[in-house]
Amino acid sequence: MSPMTAVPSPAAPEAFDAVDVIVTKRDKGELGDQQIDWVIDAYTRGVVAEEQMSALAMAVLLNGMTRREIARWTAAMIASGERMDFSSLSRPTADKHSTGGVGDKITLPLAPLVAACGVAVPQLSGRGLGHTGGTLDKLESIPGWRAQLTNSEMLRQLEQVGAVICAAGAGLAPADKKLYALRDVTGTVEAIPLIASSIMSKKIAEGTGSLVLDVKVGSGAFMKDVPRAQELARTMVELGTGAGVRTVAVLTNMQTPLGLTAGNALEVRESVEVLAGGGPPDVVELTLVLAREMLSAAGREDLDPADALADGRAMDVWRRMIAAQGGDPDAPLPWAKHTHEVWAPADGVLTQLDALKVGMAAWRLGAGRARKEDPVQASAGIVMHAKPGAVLRGGDPLITLHTDTPERFERALAALEGAWFIAPEGSRPDLLPLVIDRIG
Ligand code: URA
């Protein structure tokens, strides 16, 4: 008698075949709802292989998606994980998402400012990759501050302080986490359907009642020109509105960095200056523009955030927000061990200071990371002494490079090659306005 052998039960057959899905999109066809649900779910389960998803992402980048496909793709990514729920809070919620830029520290003064006006801000943020900084990296330059909170800690802080900036938990849109990492290494980040669904799946799953999108345009941004930024903004506003989140988008200038600093602790210092009533005019203006949009989306257009900035209420919330996450708002922030000054080579008007080149230089100084597991230097970065429009004399300070590792100066200076242009006196910079458009 032969011994009994366990017969493995056959796996349930898959509803679709990955190759058929890829071929449909390769041949410019439209994916059906069930195909989309299946491909996202099967990819999250590891049934659709990385190379298959990478072929599909490239087909989407080349051939696009209809609005229906994008909405279904976004819903499938939301369904891949948990959804947060802030409906038990005693105040309305509003969040802001920026598509990323150089010197973009706006979340830091904005979240406490909006909270000071009575609207709760649940801000799930990320770390920087490449030349754009990450909000969590900036806040981690504050001694003691921690990014990781449980959902119940987040809810408690939202109720008691009104603002939370923390890391998104692993349970939120896990399909996007996998897909974003894959896009990063397969040249498929720039597809508008994939960017829009990636951002909006996380924001809708996060459970905010209203959302303001800051879509950056210019050399330092994903979207280099206004028409593409408008298309991305319209797609995201439709996705948010369709999911019941009051959503508006503002297109803003990223041809030149925001404010006068790019780098983690340097940007925290500048944000605290804004909360103290000072700071660079463009950072103050954009903070107020976005705060007004958030308050209005949350039904509080009657409030003027400029009051809460001027009378110190926003600063009070900032201090409580940092302390609630273990940070010491009074602790000195780190300074770099080494600096290198660059001076204006001639008299004239600064007509250009390129965001991408400044961001690359800050990154090479140690402010950013090349791989997501790399550490960042809290004190590294760039301080700008002039912005486009400034009249300079030859020998005036233009920028200062900061780092703990001076061997980095050479490559950072190489990144800055051609970053600025000094035109004869009387010239005017040809720049887009700070706020370019509003969609919603
Ligand atoms: N940010 C995201 O979260 N996803 C993208 O695809 C691009 C920027």
Q: What is the pLDDT of residues 355-388, one digit of tens each?
A: 999 999 999 999 998 777 788 999 999 999 999 9
Euclidean distance between CA atoms 364 and 71, whole angstroms: 38
Q: Which pLDDT does position 435 carry in this prediction?
A: 98
Q: Which pLDDT does position 185 carry in this prediction?
A: 85
Euclidean distance between CA atoms 50 and 428, whole angstroms: 50
Euclidean distance between CA atoms 66 and 44, whole angstroms: 23
183 is catalytic: yes
Sign of CA dihedral 289, 293, 294, 298: positive
Q: Is 124 in the pocket of ligand 1 (CB under 6 A)?
A: no
What dihedral angle (degrees, nearest 10) is formed by the CA atoms of 236, 238, 241, 247? 40
Q: Is 180 in the pocket of ligand 1 (CB under 6 A)?
A: yes
Task: Please name which of 287, 266, 267 lies closest in space to residue 109, comparing C-alpha atoms.
Answer: 287
Q: 183: CA distance to ligand 1 center in Å?
A: 10
Q: Is 52 in the pocket of ligand 1 (CB under 6 A)?
A: no
Q: Is 165 in the pocket of ligand 1 (CB under 6 A)?
A: no
Question: Taking all residues of the chain, what is their mean pLDDT, rounded to a whole number?
Answer: 94
Q: Which of 70, 77, 123, 180 to mutate to test the pocket of ligand 1 (most atoms within 8 A of CB)?
A: 180
pTM: 0.94
Q: How far is CA 344 from CA 366, 394, 409, 429, in A?
A: 24, 5, 18, 16
Helix, strand, coil: what percent of the chain each, to 5? 40, 15, 40
96 is catalytic: no
Query: Which protein residue's CA is at the shortest distance from atom 3 of ligand 1?
Result: 199
Domains and their CATH numbers in the chain: 18-64 (no CATH), 94-324 (3.40.1030.10), 338-423 (3.90.1170.30)
Euclidean distance between CA atoms 251 and 230, whole angstroms: 7
Euclidean distance between CA atoms 293 and 291, whole angstroms: 5
Q: Which pLDDT does position 2 carry in this prediction?
A: 44
Task: Please name which of 387, 96, 354 lies closest in space to residue 246, comparing C-alpha atoms.
Answer: 96
**In angstroms, how far is the first alpha carbon of the chain from the final one?**
75
**Residue 189 Cα: closest atom of ligand 1:** 6
Query: Which protein residue's CA is at the shortest distance from atom 2 of ligand 1?
Result: 199
Q: Are 114 and 287 in contact (CB under 8 A)?
A: no
Euclidean distance between CA atoms 324 and 339, whole angstroms: 33
Q: Identify the three-state secondary structure at position 20.
A: helix
What type of residue sits at position 105?
K
Q: Exactly one of 127, 178, 183, 402 is catalytic; which is it?
A: 183
Q: Which pLDDT does position 375 carry in this prediction?
A: 87
Render each residue's pLDDT in the chain as its tens digit; 440 residues.
Answer: 444 555 555 667 888 999 999 999 999 999 999 999 999 999 999 999 999 999 999 999 999 999 999 999 999 999 999 999 999 999 999 999 999 999 999 999 999 999 999 999 999 988 776 677 789 999 999 999 999 999 999 999 999 999 999 998 888 999 999 998 899 889 998 899 999 999 999 999 999 999 999 999 999 998 999 999 999 999 999 999 999 999 999 999 999 999 999 999 999 999 999 999 999 999 999 999 999 999 999 999 999 999 999 999 999 999 999 999 999 999 999 999 999 999 999 999 999 999 999 999 999 999 998 777 788 999 999 999 999 999 999 999 999 999 999 999 999 999 999 999 999 999 999 989 999 999 99
The string of pLDDT tens digits covering residues 260-313 is 999 999 999 999 999 999 999 999 999 999 999 999 999 999 999 999 999 999
Q: Which pLDDT does position 307 carry in this prediction?
A: 96
Euclidean distance between CA atoms 43 and 438, whole angstroms: 36
The DSSP annotation for 29-68 comes to: PPPPHHHHHHHHHHHHHT-S-HHHHHHHHHHHHHH---HH
Q: Which pLDDT does position 293 carry in this prediction?
A: 98
Q: Are 73 and 197 in contact (CB under 8 A)?
A: yes
Q: What is the 3-state secondary structure (H, E, C) of 198-261?
A: HHHHHHHHHCCCEEEEEEEECCCCCECCHHHHHHHHHHHHHHHHHCCCEEEEEEEECCCCCCCE
